[in-house]
Structure 1
Amino acid sequence: MIDLHTHSLFSDGELIPSELVRRFEALEYRAVAITDHVDCSTLDFVVPRIAQAAKELTESQPVMVVPGVELTHVPPMSIADLCRKARDLGARLVVVHGETIVEPVPAGTNRAALEAGVDLLAHPGLITPEEVGMAAEKGVFLEISGRKGHSLTNGHVAKLAREFGARLVIDSDTHSPGDIMGETLARKVAMGAGLPPAFFDELMSNAHLLIKRAGYRL
């Protein structure tokens, strides 16, 4: 199992990185990305600390920890620049907080993230067919979310992604211990999105591809 979207105390999560990773280890995960919320005011504080924690934790326990960020509620015109800065500071996985239907995310965020070539567009809500085509073309992965509210449009995202050939991953968007998904629940979330049971292996394979693209080997 791999989860590429989690949060720690460096943003609005409840756990310090070491406990967050330990809880994933207890569920036999192979890799987890810590992708705390950032904007222009917190980027330079959060990323180096996550990067250092990820390095030390990867060296001291069996779960590979990938340092990342989630650019959240930032003006769409700022996404490309913040993505570059995040990578320069040590983020190996750049996620953008997509246009979920349960939060007032600025219109145009999905498109700006795709144009910037981020790694993962999280819970992209009622993403358009044109945007899903862009995701496929640019190699931006789309998320099936296990988080309450964000998951309401999983079926829409899954249907268009399969139609246009965009790659999908499944993540918990963990903020608290109870958010972490075991494999049984993750499979049910995928099926609830309308994906056939056998497609779960492709979701994990896609997550593995993102890990590899970030420069890691499992």
Structure 2
Amino acid sequence: MMKLGNRYEFHTHTLLSDGELLISEHVRRAENLGYEVISITDHADVTNIDEILSKIGEFIKSEGQYYKIKVLPGVELTHVPPQMINELAEYSKAKGAKIVVVHGETIVEPVALKTNLYAVKSKYVDILAHPGLITEEEVKLAVENNVYLELSARKGHSLTNGHVAKLASKFGANMLVDTDAHSPDDFISQEFAYKVALASGLNSEQAYKVVSLNPLNFIKKILDL
């Protein structure tokens, strides 16, 4: 098997929303597993974007220097009215979010219709998480606006990975394997992420690109390198 490199994780949750760990615990767990980068993307709507990004920023400023792992601030816009996604994504970026994830139309939650559509239309959205039964039109827009589509390692959300991978491959959309981690047990190795990609129906070359090359390209995108 090709050398997969280090793990990059762009979708995780802490006690700032419904995760189980303090940021310090969360980051240390990932660092101990050899992760290169982790993004904190707690669930957000109009009521708590400022608080989340302020707390993550405070952590990075005061504690971040003591870790080898790079911590990126972000939010996951969750169950917000679709028509507000672009506005809230832009606001999140202005408040310091390096990564804006949108909680997509997973089939295991009552996500509002057109959430996927409004997410992939926004130039401020970076990742559409667990997009469920995403349409061809939405995948094409994701390509046009360079929104990455998530293959989820999380129970339930992962049920439509095959559908997402099939359409993303057909139209050339970028994909990432993320955990949507809420607890320490949710973290996965790079080898397991590769298996998630393979289980989504990708061949070995495609899976390698998703877990080893796409994260590096994504980092360049969000950090404007």
TM-score bracket for this pair, using the shorter chain length: over 0.9
Query: Scaled by the length of structure 1, what TM-score is found?
Result: 0.95
Structure 2 CA distance, aligned partners of 1:27 and 1:198? 25
Aligned-pair CA distance for 1:150: 0.2
Q: Which consecutive residues of structure 1, in runs of 5 or more, have no partner in the other structure?
A: none
Structure 1 CA distance, aligned partners of 2:14 and 2:113? 27
Question: Conserved in 2, the CA contact under 8 Å of 1:154 and 1:193?
Answer: yes
Secondary structure, counterpart of 1:82 in structure 2: helix
- Alignment partner, residue 160 of structure 2: 153
Secondary structure, counterpart of 1:160 in structure 2: helix
Question: Conserved in 2, the CA contact under 8 Å of 1:72 and 1:97?
Answer: yes
Detail structure 1 runs of 4+ shifted over 6 Å in the superposition: none
- Alignment of 1:212 with 2:220, yes or no, is yes
Question: Conserved in 2, the CA contact under 8 Å of 1:136 and 1:165?
Answer: yes
1:205 maps to a residue whose letter is L
Structure 2 CA distance, aligned partners of 1:159 and 1:15? 34
- Measured on the aligned residues, the alpha-carbon RMSD in Å equals 1.3
Structure 1 CA distance, aligned partners of 2:152 and 2:39? 15
- Alignment of 1:42 with 2:48, yes or no, is yes
Q: Which consecutive residues of structure 2, in runs of 5 or more, have no partner in the other structure?
A: 1-6
- Alignment partner, residue 112 of structure 1: 118
Aligned-pair CA distance for 1:196: 1.6
Aligned-pair CA distance for 1:199: 2.5
Aligned-pair CA distance for 1:34: 0.6
- Alignment partner, residue 171 of structure 1: 178
Secondary structure, counterpart of 1:214 in structure 2: helix
Q: Say if 1:63 and 1:200 are closer, same or farther in 2 by CA, change over 3 A.
A: farther
Question: Conserved in 1, the CA contact under 8 Å of 2:122 and 2:145?
Answer: no
Query: Scaled by the length of structure 2, what TM-score is found?
Result: 0.92
- Alignment partner, residue 33 of structure 2: 27
- What whole-Å deviation, never above 9, does each CA across 1:161-212 have from its counterpart, x for those lacking one? 0100100000010001111111232122111101122333311321122222
Structure 1 CA distance, aligned partners of 2:45 and 2:23? 20
- Alignment partner, residue 3 of structure 2: none
Aligned-pair CA distance for 1:214: 2.0
**Percent of residue pairs identical:** 49
Aligned-pair CA distance for 1:103: 0.1
Secondary structure, counterpart of 1:67 in structure 2: strand
Question: Conserved in 1, the CA contact under 8 Å of 2:40 and 2:73?
Answer: yes
| Equivalent residue pairs, number | 217
Secondary structure, counterpart of 2:223 in structure 1: coil
Structure 1 CA distance, aligned partners of 2:134 and 2:183? 27
Aligned-pair CA distance for 1:55: 4.0
Q: Say if 1:112 and 1:146 are closer, same or farther in 2 by CA, change over 3 A.
A: same
Query: For structure 1, which segment, 180-189 or 7-16, has the greater mean C-alpha deviation from structure 2 after superposition?
Result: 180-189
| Equivalences for residues 91-106 of structure 1 within 5 A | 91-106=97-112
2:218 maps to a residue whose letter is L
